[in-house]
């Protein structure tokens, strides 16, 4: 059909999932080197935190980000639904997510798109007044600091993008 590639948003892919890595390898074999393979990536977590029973293998570690990055052209992180109650904490969360994921992908050619939410849906993991475009961009920019793997922003959910979000976006472009 003339597409450039494929984006896979498979939720939730557990850390160290061999099946997901195999899927990516099979897709590469079928699509060829010239087609783009893009995936949605999980929150990053340290090896120490990953060993804790409530988290164990739910989030991606450096090693798994590296393994996925070696098999794809692009990763769009889902760095929202952070459970953060305050804007300051969400900005810190975003900064640390971006720093850790870019560090994980340092020896990879995979591009990174940082997921930022504009969703207005209030859930236990997402407070719209906290996880918004303004705070997300501030945290992302604080975490980029010379990274060459960050190639852009992946806004979720585009159907909730408002005129106010447009104004925030334009202000950040200056």
Residue 14 has a pLDDT of 95
Check: CB of residue 31 under 8 Å from CB of residue 37.
Answer: yes
Q: Give yes or no for residue 140 having a pLDDT over 90.
A: yes
Structure-token pair, residue 30 = 């079928």
Q: Residue 174 — very low, low, confident or very high, per pLDDT cuts 50/70/90?
A: confident
Q: Which of 87-96, 102-111, 147-156 has the lowest mean pLDDT?
A: 147-156
Check: CB of residue 122 under 8 Å from CB of residue 85.
Answer: no
Question: Phi and psi for 45 in degrees, rounded to 5?
Answer: -145, 150
pLDDT in tens, 35-85: 999 999 999 999 999 999 888 889 999 999 999 999 999 999 999 999 999
């Amino acid at each position: 059909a003339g597409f450039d590639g494929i984006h896979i948003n498979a939720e939730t892919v557990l850390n160290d999932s061999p099946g997901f890595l195999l899927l990516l390898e099979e897709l590469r074999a079928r699509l060829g080197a010239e087609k783009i393979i893009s995936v949605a990536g999980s929150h990053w977590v340290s090896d120490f935190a990953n060993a804790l029973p409530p988290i164990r293998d739910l989030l991606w570690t450096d090693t798994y980000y590296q393994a996925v990055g070696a098999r794809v052209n692009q990763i769009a992180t889902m760095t929202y639904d952070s459970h953060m109650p305050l804007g300051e904490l969400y900005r810190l969360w975003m900064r640390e997510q971006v720093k850790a994921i870019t560090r994980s992908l340092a020896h990879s050619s995979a591009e990174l798109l940082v997921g930022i939410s504009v969703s207005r849906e209030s859930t236990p993991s997402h407070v719209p007044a906290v996880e918004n475009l303004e705070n997300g961009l501030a945290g992302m920019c604080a975490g980029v600091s010379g990274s060459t793997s960050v190639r852009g922003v992946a806004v979720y959910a585009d159907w909730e993008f408002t005129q106010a979000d447009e104004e925030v976006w334009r202000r950040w472009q200056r």
